[in-house]
Amino acid sequence: MIERLMRVLERTPGVSEWKLVARRVEGRELFFVRRGLDMQRARSVRRLGLSVYHDFEEGGRPFRGVVRIGVHPEAADAELSRWVEDAVFAARQVRNEPFPLVEPGATAPPLPASSFAGRPLGGWLAPLSEALFAPGPAGEGRAARINSAELFLDQVETRILSSRGVDVSYAGYEGYVELIVEAEGPGGAVELYKEIQFAGFLPERLSGEVRTELELAGDRAQAGPTPRLKTAAVILSGEPVREFLGYYLTQGAAESMYNEISRFKVGDSLQGRDVRGDRLSIRGEPYLEGSTASAPWDGDGFALQSTALIEDGVLRRAWGPVRFCHYLGVPPTGGLANLVVRPGSRSLEEMRGDARLEVVAFSDFHSDPITGDFGGEIRLGYLIEAGRRRPVTGGSLSGNVKEVHGELYLSRELQQLNGFQGPQAVELFGVAVTGVS
Amino acid sequence: MKVPHSEHLSRHRDLLLRLLRLLREEYPYASVLATDSRGLRYLVQRRETSIQESRFGERGFVVRVHDGSGYGEFSFNELPGASHGVPAEGPAALAEALAAEIRGRVEELAQARSALPVSLRPYPAAQEEPFTGRWQGEVEELPEQTGGAEIVRRLTELRDRAFTLSDYLVDMRVLYEGVRVSKLFLSGARDLEQSYLWSQGYLVPVSRRGEVTRVNHKSASGLKGTELIGEMAGRLPEAVKVAEELLGARKVEPGEYEVILNPTVAGLVAHESFGHGVELDMFVKQRAKAAEYLGKPVGSPLVSLHDGARAAEEVSSYWFDDEGTPGSDTLVIDRGVFRAGISDQLSAFALGLPPTGNGKRESFERKAYARMTNTFFSPGSDSLEAMIASIRHGYLLEEFTSGMEDPKNWGIQGVILFGREIRDGKLSGVVVSPVIITGYVPDVLQAVSMVSADFALSGSGMCGKGHKEYSKTSTGGPYIKTVMRLG
């Protein structure tokens, strides 16, 4: 298929350059309802993403237009030709500043082999299912258990080619579990939702995440209503930490700077002038054990390296693909694979030493990467008062990153959420809390 | 004009019929869904333009079989031994090869199943009523006829006009996406083909004053072609005006208020609060609080709610779903009483109900789930003016950013882009943003005290099942007055 497509690209007028990202996916899927298997699926697909570049001049100004289309492996030759011709025609309308493509020749260390590589995909379904169901019901008298779960395991081969001569490839595994746990409490049954991603067979990690979620569901079943606090010192724990920090990644992106969504420039303090708490340090990493985001190359075939993006609250690199870094006149980092955030100065125990609202699960924590607004409905939190930590649920919290980041504290304890490794918790002050009692 | 059927599907129809015959000789039930959906997403910004394949583009096949024990599926987009199209040896040989491949997959699934630490949930093999035919949607302008150059020109014109309307814009994103959906479904009793086109557009002005940056978004959608860009043009002045107003937005004082939900926000509440909770696979998993309320009051008598592919003409209107079941119109809540849920084939089997035509897949690569289509509250008889006049201190909530379901506990969560304060029966001119709405579904629906005669649907964006399985849905209704917690 790729050879056929390359022949079409060669003979189509107006194709200045091209890039192809080819992914072959072999997948197996199991769908559980309680401890019963509801459905099984298998998947074998090839996805081809073609970028067609067309260089032209208008009014004495040079432009490089690009159109990205999907190419289907069962397409007939005539269809392929039509798609490429249509893409060239459309690219003539795209008046973007010229930019270079990735040149071949760079090297990138290969990804370490996944532990899944040792046997056929289908052979992992039973051990993964055993790890998923190993924890069993949790919590004395609370009967927290798995309501339902979906298990996906994909073997993915990626190849990136371009007219510049780039031809790189890598392979990996993408595991995914959607987990729904439930528990009975005085107010009836409650549930919690969790996504777990993994790239290798780490049964203890999987069972541990299920166990933690069962315990949290048990707590939610016992939770009282969140009190009306107006504003409070809060601890965001678990997944919301990653979402909260997403603001800085958008603001440090070369594309955001080019489009003036971000006003930051390299050397700026991202947390403002007066920083009393912890200062952020964030790195981009091509490889992180267990992460499905690990990749030696970005989507353009650019070799990824460990890169400091933010150090002690100061933006060190505008990050992004070759195109937008070229526009800014800065060296490219390539697209980011994994993010590693340096731990902070406070332990979780220290954070919990004063009156706090610690939120561990939202219905859907929302963080706007442009405005900095964040918030969400509280599915499970803990009110910490006078040395007691009692579960609460309901109500919401909201704030703005720019109003709280002058004094925030990151935990010393770390967590890993697929391609994110960073503090388990972030402590914020003056956050608006809408309670229900 | 009619949306043309897919040549690709026509070319493979004979092959798929042969495959189906072979599979039906072996299995109690077999079906094939073939998809060919294609479209481009055009985005014009201040400094760049991009054109790319829609994320809803797909071309492939999914075979479902009942092997005597349960259901299994195989998704693929390459044919064995063929580099493209039907190979020289002809469709009969290719069908044999494909059937052999599927047999192997089914055996592998059965083998994997036997090693699992769980038991198989039994389902009967589907007994379908005959249903055959072809259906084509109609639009005014097909995107391929309008052409990429003209689409970019129209979007660029909107972008440029936006900058003449405000001195505070730092960026203006104008997006148009049109997707032609073509599907072929074959089973023992079904031979169905449909082609239709949906479009969506966004106007996203980004405003800035001093250190404050705000983003507004206004959308348009429908079973339409590029004529949708004309509708977007009509909404541009309002979109830019709101982006300016947001620069002066305040924070809402957290608390419980009388609120008026505009049709967009009413749609969010319909979708997140009640729609997800009546997807009947949630009943099978015992994840839905609604199961306890079948035939019982869940809201004020002013509240009626529909869902269905044939209940309205919007982006999720189709003739048959991804399991070959005809689309329908389900009256979910009738004057405050919960009457019926919406189902895919398996959840309908599990509950002993007829499927409602809500079995939808993200693409041929994914499983079919019970999903919403066009979900909306029915209009009432009040006027918006009377609703505003009836509130001493509250908010008119407009546009939403996101929402999340909580079917087990019937919590409502939504992030609303902005609200307009109402004081002593009048809009005070104060804008609050963003606003997080929360509440308990029966409380919010019971508190509905006025419903306007207006009606509007919006089908922009995507709906997920949890945090995945994204598909097109539309939501909406009239203006609704109720009580909610704002934060």
Query: Same domain, yes or no, for B76 and B178?
Result: no
Share of chain B above pLDDT 70, in %: 98
- Among B322, B317, B368, CA closest to B473: B317
Give mean pLDDT, residues B60-66: 97
- State whether B232 and B93 are in the same domain: no
Domain termination site, one of A222, A238, A256: A222
Last residue of a domain, one of A194, A222, A250: A222
Judging contacts by C-beta atoms under 8 Å, the chain A residues touching residue B402 are 364, 366
Q: Is B55 on the interface with A (CB under 8 A)?
A: no
C-beta separation of B132 from B193 below 8 A: no
Domain CATH code at residue B210? 3.30.2290.10
At A160, phi and psi to the nearest 5? -120, 125
What is the pLDDT, as a whole number, of residue B81?
65
* Judgement on whether residues A107 and A249 belong to the same structural domain of the protein: no
Answer whether A363 sits within 8 Å of B285, measured CB to CB.
Answer: no
CA distance A109 to chain B (A): 31
Please name the residues in contact with B253: beta carbons below 8 A apart, sequence gap of 6 or more: none
Q: Is the same domain home to B265 and B359?
A: yes
**What confidence tier does B85 reach under pLDDT thresholds 50, 70, 90?**
low
* Domain-located, residue B2: no
Q: Is A250 in the same domain as A159? A: no
Q: Are A432 and B254 an interchain contact pair (Cβ–Cβ within 8 Å)?
A: yes
CA distance B206 to chain A (A): 8
Inter-chain residue contact B466 with A193, CB threshold 8 Å: yes
Please state, in angstroms and rounded to a whole number, the distance separating the CA atoms of residues B328 and B312.
10
Confidence (pLDDT) at A228: 87
Per CB-CB distance under 8 Å, the chain B contacts of A91 are: 51
Residues 176-235 of A with CB under 8 A from B: 178, 180, 182, 189-191, 193, 195, 228, 230
Q: A46: domain range? A: 2-222
pLDDT tens digits, B387-414: 999 999 999 999 888 887 788 888 888 8
The pLDDT of residue A13 is 96
Instruction: Report chain A residues whose CB lies below 8 A from the CB of B408.
Output: 182, 189-191
Rounded CA-CA distance B80/B99 in Å is 10
Both A151 and A277 in one domain: the answer is no
**Phi–psi pair at A82, nearest 5 degrees:** -65, -45
Answer for the pair B233, B424: CB distance below 8 angstroms, yes or no.
no
* B125 and B141 belong to one structural domain: no
Together in a domain, A210 and A244 = no
Residue B468 is predicted with a pLDDT of 92
What distance in Å separates the CA atoms of residue A337 and residue A330, rounded to the nearest whole number? 19
CA-to-CA separations, A144 to A107, A187, B409, in angstroms, rounded: 49, 14, 15
Q: How many domains does chain B have?
A: 3
| B303 occurs within a structural domain | yes
Residues of B with CB below 8 A from A41's CB? Answer: 72-75, 367
At B403 the pLDDT is: 82
Q: Residue B229 has what pLDDT?
A: 98
Instruction: Name the residue range of residue B456's domain.
Output: 255-486
Copy the structure tokens of residue A5: 């497509």
Which residue in B119, B25, B366, B214 sits closest to A133, CA to CA? B119
Mark which of A177, A196, A222 sits at the end of a domain.
A222
Same domain, B386 and B467: yes
HEC string of A280-342 equals CCEEEECCCCCCCCCCCECCCCCECCCEEEEECCEECCCEECHHHHHHHCCCCCECCCEEEEC
CA nearest to A126 within chain B: B116
Looking at the fold, whether B361 and B397 belong to one and the same domain comes out as yes
The pLDDT value given to residue A141: 52
- For residue range A307-340, list pLDDT tens digits in order: 999 999 999 999 999 999 999 999 999 999 999 9
Assess whether B306 and B322 both reside in one domain: yes
B94, B97, B103, B105: CA torsion to nearest 10: -100
Distance CA B57, CA B179 (A): 7
pLDDT tens for chain A, 437 residues: list them.
Answer: 899 999 999 999 999 999 999 999 999 999 999 989 999 999 999 999 999 999 999 999 999 999 999 999 888 889 999 999 999 999 999 999 999 999 999 999 999 999 999 899 999 999 999 999 998 766 555 589 999 999 999 999 999 999 999 999 999 999 999 999 999 998 889 999 999 999 999 999 999 999 999 999 999 999 999 998 878 899 999 999 999 999 999 999 999 999 999 999 999 999 988 899 999 999 999 999 999 999 999 999 999 999 999 999 999 999 999 999 999 999 999 999 999 999 999 999 999 988 999 999 998 898 999 999 999 999 999 999 988 999 999 999 999 999 999 999 999 999 999 999 999 999 999 999 988 87
Nearby residues of B372 by Cβ (< 8 Å), 6 or more positions away: B271, B275, B276, B279, B307, B316, B342, B358, B463, B473, B475
Whether residue B43 is contained in a domain is answered as no
- The answer to whether B120 faces chain A, any CB pair under 8 Å, is yes
Is the Cβ pair A398, B214 closer than 8 Å?
Answer: no
Please tell me the distance from the alpha carbon of residue A369 to that of residue A270, in angstroms, as a whole number: 13
Which segment of A105-119, B224-238, B419-433 scores lowest on mean pLDDT?
Answer: A105-119
Task: Tell me the residues of chain A between 118 and 157 that have a Cβ less than 8 Å away from chain B.
Answer: 122-123, 125-126, 129-130, 133, 147-148
Same domain, A358 and A333: yes
Cβ atoms of A364 and A379 closer than 8 Å: no
Q: At what angle do helices A203-222 and A125-133 cross, to 10 degrees?
A: 30
| Cα B199 to Cα B176: distance, rounded to the nearest angstrom | 7
Tell me what pLDDT residue B412 has: 83
CB burial of residue A93 (10 Å; 0-12, 13-18, 19+): buried
Statement to judge: residues B19 and B159 lie in one domain: no
- How high is the pLDDT of residue A139? 53
Query: How many domains in chain A?
Result: 2
What is the tens place of the pLDDT at every residue in A25-78?
A: 999 999 999 989 999 999 999 999 999 999 999 999 999 999 999 999 888 889
Distance of alpha carbon A280 from alpha carbon A176, whole angstroms? 29
Q: Report helix, strand and coil shares of chain B as percent, to nearest 5.
A: 25, 40, 35
B:369-408 residues touching chain A, CB 8 A cutoff:
401-404, 406, 408
Q: Are residues A269 and A209 in the same domain?
A: no
Q: What are phi and psi of B303, to 5 degrees?
A: -100, 120
* B64 plus B207 within the same structural domain: no
Residue B280: its pLDDT value, please?
A: 97
- Which helix (H) or strand (E) covers residue B303, if one does? none
Same domain? A297 vs A234: yes
Q: Report in angstroms the alpha-carbon separations of B221 from A100, B229, B465.
A: 36, 10, 21
- For residues B321-330, give the mean pLDDT: 98
Closest partner CB to A94 (pick from B51, B408, B415): B51
B363 and B331 within one domain = yes
